[in-house]
Amino acid sequence: MTAKKLRETQAAWDEVAAGFDEYATPLTISFAEMALDGVDLGPGVRFLDVAAGSGALSIPATRLGAEVVATDVSPAMVELLAARARNEDLTDLEARVMDGHALEFEDDTFDVSASQNGVSLFPDMQRGLREMVRVTKAGGQVLILAFGPPTEAEFLAFFTGAMQAAVPGFDGLPMDPPPLPFQVADPEKLRAQLADAGLNDIQIDTETWEMEFQSATHLWDVVVNSNPIAVALVADLSREQITEVQDILDAKLRERAGESGPAVLTTRMNIGIGTK
């Protein structure tokens, strides 16, 4: 990544960091806790989290006793991640600003290297994966959590449907090629990426992530703070259009929730694990 591109990427993620930490990370932690069952963690295990955001994967890994190093290109994300660790007195979690395309670690440093909706967003995902493999010890594991098809991400379908109904000319996300978060939506594409990066004994599982939304505002806040792509989607909306989108979302969520309680929207996720 060029110095200019690195600065642009840092700025884009810094802009959404506070909202990401407040809205996206709490939802994502629960899925991470489930996915971590697939790797060997415990006291003494050195665990690397690449493109860690504000800690949705790092925090539960540290709770399980691993010695965690979390990296992210965004200084704001790293500050928020470190704050989460301090709030829980998690002393075995180190947070560092770092470009995942060029990890500043020696070869064969970690027992497990992982990324949740992180490396799978890289324009050069293969380079990021190869870096993760490089710093993983022989016999160690690499874990990748990535979105399945956008058509099976209900939070996105609800949001884009409301946008299409409220905003003239909004056609939804371009899908040819798909947005980077969905570049390995096909499990076989994820398998091929992991194999090309040098991993063996690859296992790809698909799991359903159940996301609870308390209100239309909650869903709006999660989506628009989840990625710079979402920021661009809503940047030119008027206050009236935002209100209309949220009104439509409110009706959709009420219908899903039934009589009471939060609305549960499901998202298909791919979990890939390989051994170096």
What does the alpha-carbon distance between residue 153 and residue 223 come to, in Å, rounded to a whole number? 12
Could you tell me the pTM of the whole model? 0.95
Residue 91, burial from CB neighbour count under 10 angstroms (0-12, 13-18, 19+): exposed
Assess contact for 203 and 259: CB atoms under 8 A. Answer: no
Q: How many domains does the chain have?
A: 1
What does the alpha-carbon distance between residue 243 and residue 97 come to, in Å, rounded to a whole number? 37
Assess contact for 58 and 83: CB atoms under 8 A. Answer: no
Query: Can you give the C-alpha Rg of the chain in angstroms?
Result: 18
Those residues whose C-beta lies under 8 Å from the C-beta of residue 222, and which sit 6 or more positions away, are 23, 24, 27, 155, 211, 213
Regions of the chain where pLDDT drops below 50: none
CA 13 to chain centre: 12
Residue 167's domain is classified under what CATH number?
3.40.50.150
pLDDT tens per residue across span 58-69: 999 999 999 999
Assess contact for 117 and 144: CB atoms under 8 A. Answer: no
**Which structural domain range is residue 27 located in?**
3-275
pLDDT tens per residue across span 158-187: 999 999 999 988 888 877 788 999 999 999
